[in-house]
Amino acid sequence: MNQNQPNYPLAERLSWISESETIAMAKLGRTLKAEGKDVISLSFGEPDFFTPEHIKQAAIDAIHQNFTFYTPVAGIPDLKEAIVQKFQRENQLTYQTDQIVVSTGAKNAIMNTVLSLVNPGDEVIIPRPFWVSYADMVQFAQGVPVYIDTTVESDYKITAEQLEKAISPKSKLFMFSSPNNPSGMIYSFDELKALAEVFERHPEIFIISDEIYEHINFEGKHHSIAGFGSLINRTITVNGVSKAFSMTGWRIGYIGAPKAIAFACEKLQSQFTSGTNAIAQKAAIAALNGDLTPTYQMRDAFKKRRDICYERLKAVPGIKLSLPPGAFYLFPDISAYFGKQYQGHVIHNSQDLCMFLLNQVYLVTVAGSAFGNDNCIRLSYATSEENLIKAMDRIKEGLSLLS
């Protein structure tokens, strides 16, 4: 950002954050493709399926009905009602409509929440690996991220003991996603219960539970941490339509939150964005109230692709990998290749390995460092089986060049 004009008088706060690395890698891949290279991208953070027809139809109807004006800042009443019902039906969480805020994607919903809660110097506990934007959001709010590290051996999940140790008198917020981006891991009922018991002992800590991948779950029922004990009183449950309904471009995300936090987020939106896109809100109602068959078909396709990739990657020497039960990412540990080289270029870290794969075998991946774990790279399997088979072959071929 601003690298060509280092003295340009931008506000200092811009230096508190960096450009999203997933977006930066996708840009590099596009440049090579424009040069005519046979590039395969595994950097996508979005399903490669189309939005289901009944959802698109609801948006078309909204346009024809001239539903094109400003909407209430926190969302139109019928969407908020659909969200209340969704939380009750699917998550057994009871919210009132004034606890719901609809935003311009879950990203906007999370940022609103962070800005509403975090004062300068407040500590925010974040398990690593985390979704790229969490740390930057906290830093933008002048909070202090406090990380809890995990490894492939622990399936990238934290324990109650680790959580307890990370808590200090300055802790204000804990934020995590399950199913997780980038690891694909999911906390079980018992694991969430153990974390919830720690939070019950620390009533001053708020929790952002990012459940955007809820429906991309290959194993079983989704569990929300807000459902444990009294945690609904200080949990902000984040969700949206981007991943479950293949609606990333529509930009609808939402929270269920304590009233004071919902009001704070609404206040921020009233000054910065206003109510999100009117037409997309109507489409989101159709998504939430509609049939989940297309979602389950997509989930099943992802599961098949995961298995294709997992079987092939597992056989590559030096790669450590666990089987992710959700989302659409693999997060292999490739640190065995650090210190190896090809034609004089030494691989020092995950970023070097990603650049090596890009330049040698035209494969776009994302460095684990972007997600707070430099031993790994993230591979998204939101692309065709044919591409994935080729991509796994390219990883094997590329890595075999390193010695």
Question: What is the C-alpha separation between 206 and 68, in angstroms, rounded?
Answer: 36
Of the two residues 95 and 131, which places its CB atom closer to ligand PLP in the complex? 131
Stretches 93-101, 102-110, 218-226, 369-377: which one binds ligand PLP (CB under 6 A)? 102-110
Give me the amino acid identity at 151: T
**Choice from 44, 95, 131, 245 touching ligand PLP (CB under 6 A):** 131
- Return the number of other C-beta atoms located less than 10 Å from residue 2's C-beta: 11
String of contacts with ligand PLP for each residue 268-297, x by CB under 6 A: ------------------------------
Stretches 91-99, 104-112, 121-129, 297-305: which one binds ligand PLP (CB under 6 A)? 104-112
The beta strands (E) that lie in 61-182 are given as 100-103, 123-128, 144-149, 171-177
Q: Answer for the pair 384, 401: CB distance below 8 angstroms, yes or no.
A: no
Question: What is the C-alpha separation between 68 and 62, in angstroms, rounded?
Answer: 8
Q: What is the distance of C-alpha 279 from the center of its chain?
A: 24
Number of residues that bind ligand PLP (CB under 6 A): 13
107 binds ligand PLP (CB under 6 A): yes
String of contacts with ligand PLP for each residue 347-376, x by CB under 6 A: ------------------------------
Instruction: Find all residues with CB under 8 Å of 212, minimum gap 6, and list them.
Output: 106, 177, 181, 238, 239, 240, 242, 243, 244, 253
**Choice from 21, 29, 45, 282 touching ligand PLP (CB under 6 A):** 45
210 binds ligand PLP (CB under 6 A): yes
String of contacts with ligand PLP for each residue 214-253, x by CB under 6 A: --------------------------x-x-----x----x
106 binds ligand PLP (CB under 6 A): yes
The string of DSSP letters for 343-400 reads: TTEE--SHHHHHHHHHHHH-EE-EEGGGGT-TTBEEEE--S-HHHHHHHHHHHHHHHH
Residues that bind ligand PLP (CB under 6 A): 45, 105-107, 131, 177, 181, 210, 212, 240, 242, 248, 253
